[in-house]
Structure 1
Amino acid sequence: MKRLFALVLPLALLAACSTAPTAPTAPPKATVDYRPAALSAIPDWGRAQQLDSLTALRQSCKALARKPQWSDTCRDAAALDAADGDAVRRFFETRFTAWKIEDQARDTGLITGYYEPLLAGSRVKSARTPYPVYGVPADLVTLDVGAAERNAAQLVVRRAAGNKLAVVPGKSEPSAGEYRLVLADFKPDARTTRLRGRVAGDRVLPYYSRAELEAGQGLAGAPVLAWVEDATELFFLQVQGSGRIQLEDGSFLRVGYAEQNGHGYQSIGKVLIERGELTVADASMQGIQAWIKAHPERRQELFNQNPSYVFFRPLADTGSGPLGALGVPLTDGYSIAIDPRYVPLGAPVLLSTTWPLSSEPLVRLMHAQDTGGAIRGAVRADFFWGFGSEAGLYAGRMKQQGRLWILLPNGVRPHEVLPV
């Protein structure tokens, strides 16, 4: 979803989840260790809730069951009596090995939160609903670049299916119907191989930034999915990566991440801290929203500090959570977004942290079902709190330290299910 992003702040980190599937590249694993342990030997395991976690595992198995490392485990998970707590506990303890993640010999890292927001909107533009929720523009093109091409100074590309481009191998100059792409023009995310751009003459240039889009550039052929009341809520919808819009007739439109403009995410909370407008303690999502409400004339300039812009697609409202990067619905309170370079999508993850703004332990067997733009690093997770304003309160305030253990079927080692 999209879940999509930030720094040390709950907010930007908040949403780092774009639910946009990423194409992970090989991680810099030299400083990361995975230390095996029996679940029953981990002190925090005794506090973890397993029954609701089994429901989330069964969701993950919709994507994992086809993989040989997971097929037997998923079959047996489906056969379990979900009401038998002892059987569920034994299942996890006997079928899985826990792998504690350490990065540079540290076993703690940042745990933030995200949620699915609710916005008020309409199918038509009006004085009450002037802010558009855009689908993918027709003039946005994408190119999936392989490892060899990433080391080239420039590429020659041509149009392929839809809005995709393809590399023309063995050429240094474009012919008719081909385009020049200079890699130095782009700043791709180190974890993904996808570039986003636009065609200008015989060149492919980076797609427009947020400031350029807000000034009226680009967006050719971009459908407007809805119009919403509040510009700040729309900005945070892009940060979260998915949400619901309540229309004037009382019905709901669910939207999720479809694409983004290719520019890196920048935390507006960090900007406000650096400018002396907020303290670190005040830079929660709620604190940032309050600052914007008090300074409406500075709102757009602040938003423009984050050049990333997210485009959406309508989603079927199935009554369950939004789709994560794994392709299955997220489970409130049991799904996390992770960095797929270090944690395999779909794996159960034992999380030991504390409740937001508290020292009270929060220990749960979560499931790695999503990714996000700000979720970078081995001991790093974004906790999905669910839908609506109460979930938003928890998500916006969560900036805790925590530990992570990956659970893998016995006999499967982390390097076998992570990018090579």
Structure 2
Amino acid sequence: MAGPAWAAGCRRLLLSALLLGGAAGLAWAAPPGLDSLPGWAEEDAAAALVPFRATCRELARRDPEAPLGGQPLLAARAGRPAAWALLCAEALALPAGAERAFLERRLEPVPVGTGLLTGYYEPELSGRLTPDAAHPTPLHGLPPAAAEGGLLPDRAAIEAGALDGIAPILVHVDPVEGFFLQIQGSGRVTLPEGGLLRLRYAGKNGHPYRAIGRLLIERGAIAREAISMQAIRAWLAAAPPPAAAALLRENPSYVFFRRDEALRPDEGPPGTLGVPLTPGRSLAVDPAFIPLGAPVWIVTQDPLDGRPIRRLVQAQDTGGAIRGAARGDLFFGWGEEAAARAGLMQAPVTMMVLVPREGAAP
């Protein structure tokens, strides 16, 4: 639970927001320090600094005045690489053991509010360079027509062979696994020879995305309160193969991939910021409200065991469904456990964006 000092600080900030016209006019009003954040005493500050430093290295390559997003107060305080330059320089040179004191001295929280946190992950699936009975579905690279702005076929037409000989085939996979790989946008495909193929998003066919979970709810196949990635997978596994294939094809959107040879096996896929995502520490946000690159304190609970999650994460990614001030999508990593948590994650979350503290000495 939040401490009284933290709650009082939030009330002061929110009162200022109401007096000055809501979140867009949020005014600074002596916020509490990081030590008042719920769960801060248990935070692993050294682990939190790993993705923070990765963000710093990326921001150092950018135009100092390039906009990173954020609602007006956050944009003014944390919405440009220049706002982070001095703090990042100190973070990159920081000796081991000094992480907590550094964060407490150099950052202060701005409450964003309470919203919804979901989860995502990097799928890990088996594949074959030539198709077999268990891996019949090709995953395509981007066809030349996409670069030229040409009209591309929908999913059903592509699966029927409309792009054969036009779009390169990267690998063959199970049809359901391939479908969920397209939803996530990147993934790891293990080959029988022991190789690992890292696939990243390359583009789309331009057709609108239609959620098959919503279709199953509308048809009474899954109750609305029971919908999850696991529930959808269970329905697809139990359905006759023609019915499962027909449902997948009702989503006309199709994602193309490209190989990424540069990523290490211990790295996640790069997010919108261009930084490899860190399991449990990278967050997709709406940059209209939260600047990319900003540290964010989240308070929520684990979807499997209900334990509290109170942790410093980095706004390093965005997503088409991530819209709103306190709307986030937490990256859980790769493998079965990450998939289980991401598929069930749908919980209230309280968010605080941490910004450089004004007037603090380096």
- State the TM bucket, normalised to the shorter chain: 0.7 to 0.9
Q: How many residues align?
A: 314
Q: Note the C-alpha offset of 1:358.
A: 4.8
Query: Match for residue 133 of structure 1?
Result: 139
Percent identity, aligned pairs only?
A: 45
What is the RMSD computed on CA atoms of the aligned residues?
A: 2.2
Q: Which has the higher strand share?
A: 1
Q: Any conservation in 1 of the 2:295–2:315 contact (CA below 8 Å)?
A: yes
Hey, what does 1:313 align to over in structure 2? 258
Aligned pairs for 1:374-385 within 5 A: 374-385=321-332
What do the CA deviations read for 1:198-234 (whole angstroms, capped 9, x no partner)?
A: 1xxxxxxx53332332344357621111111x11110
In the superposition, the TM-score normalised over structure 1's length comes to 0.70
Q: Does 1:241 align with 2:182?
A: no
Aligned match for 1:408, one of 351, 355, 360: 355
Q: Tell me if the contact between 2:140 and 2:167 (Cα under 8 Å) persists in the aligned partners.
A: yes
2:91 alignment partner, one of 57, 62, 77: 77
- The farther-off stretch of 88-97 and 376-385 is 88-97
Please, which of 94, 101, 108 is the counterpart of residue 90 of structure 1?
Answer: 101
Q: Contact between 2:135 and 2:175, CA under 8 Å: does it hold in 1?
A: no
In 1, distance between residues paired with 2:27 and 2:302?
26
> In the alignment, which of 200, 210, 225 is matched to residue 256 of structure 1?
200
Of 312, 324, 339 in structure 2, the residue corresponding to residue 392 of structure 1 is: 339
Change in 2 beyond 3 A, CA 1:30/1:43:
closer
Cα deviation, 1:383-409, whole Å, max 9, x if unaligned, reads 111111111111111111101111222
CA distance 1:407–1:266, shift in 2 (3 Å)? farther
| Counterpart mapping for 1:249-288 below 5 A | 249-288=193-232
- Call closer, same or farther: CA 1:78–1:367 in 2, change over 3 Å: same
Summarize the alignment of residues 212-223 of structure 1 with structure 2, pairs less than 5 Å apart.
212-218=157-163, 221-223=166-168
Taking CA–CA contacts closer than 8 Å with sequence separation of 6 or more, which of the two structures ends up with the larger relative contact order?
1
Tell me if structure 2 keeps the 8 A contact 1:134–1:223.
Answer: yes
Q: Which has the higher helix share?
A: 2
Match of 1:122, SS?
coil
Deviations 1:178-204 (A, max 9, x none): xxxxxxxxxxxxxxxxxxx41xxxxxx
Query: What secondary structure, in the 3-state scheme, does the structure 2 residue paired with 1:351 have?
Result: strand
1:45 aligned onto 2:40: yes
Contact 1:139–1:218 (Cα < 8 Å) also in 2: no
Listed one character per residue, the Cα deviations across residues 285-332 of structure 1 (whole Å, up to 9, x for unaligned) are 111111001112222222233222111110124132211111111111
Structure 2 gaps of 5+ residues are 1-20, 62-80
Contact 2:38 2:310 in 1 (8 A): no
- Partner amino acid for 1:256? R
Give the AA of the match of 1:46: A
State the shift of 1:357 in Å. Answer: 4.5
Asked if residue 64 in structure 1 is aligned to residue 59 in structure 2, the reply is yes
2:325 and 2:251 map into 1 onto residues whose CA distance is 25
Q: Which of 318, 331, 342 pairs up with 1:371? A: 318
Q: Which amino acid aligns with 1:127?
A: A
**CA 1:33–1:250 in 2, change beyond 3 Å: closer, same or farther?**
farther
The residue aligned with 2:64 is none
CA contact (8 A) 1:133 1:311 kept: yes
Equivalent-residue separation in structure 1 for 2:117 and 2:358 (angstroms):
28
Q: Tell me the residue number matched to 1:323.
A: 270
- Go from structure 1 to structure 2 and tell me whether the alpha carbon gap of 1:324 and 1:223 turns closer, same or farther (over 3 Å shift): same
Q: For residue 363 of structure 1, give the secondary structure of its aligned residue in structure 2.
A: strand
1:279-358 equivalent positions in 2, closer than 5 A: 279-295=223-239, 296-316=241-261, 317-319=263-265, 320-358=267-305
| Residues in 1 aligned to 2:325 and 2:153: alpha-carbon distance in whole angstroms | 31
Distance 1:402 1:299 in 2: 34
Aligned partners of 1:219, 1:376: CA distance in 2, in Å? 36
Unaligned runs of 5+ in 1: 1-28, 102-106, 142-162, 164-196, 199-205, 413-420
Normalising by structure 2, report the TM-score: 0.80
